[in-house]
Structure 1
Amino acid sequence: MIKKRELLKTPLAVVRANIDVLKDQDERAIEDYRYTLLIAEQSVNKMNALIEALPDMVQE
């Protein structure tokens, strides 16, 4: 079972990994930036949902 702390670390790790990949590319196309922003947005949405669910998780 995933610990509650890990639920927030996972989306952050996804954002960090995508940023690192983008930074390591010698040539970056606008599509690369768009993709990284899309992943970041999805991860932020996931973190927001998890944060909203925290009060219910604490009561369990």
Structure 2
Amino acid sequence: MWAAQHEAPIYSRLIQERGDIPAQVRAAAEQTLRDLERVMPAPLPRAMPTQQTHSPALNSGGPGSL
């Protein structure tokens, strides 16, 4: 429960009159996320390529090599 409910009586009255809109919005958003995950699964994370300490192309004996 939101802490301000106890500090602001008007919030409790609004919930009684109109319903807990933030909770309804949160529930709708969570349902939307579940639906999206079902129809559009998140791609699997790709492994990061390993970095080489030196490039073989630089040490290939090609033009400009020392």
Q: TM-score, normalised by structure 1?
A: 0.47
Q: Which has the higher contact order (CA 8 A, sep 6+)?
A: 1
For the pair shown, which has the larger CA radius of gyration, 1 or 2? Answer: 2
Point out the structure with the larger helix share. Answer: 1
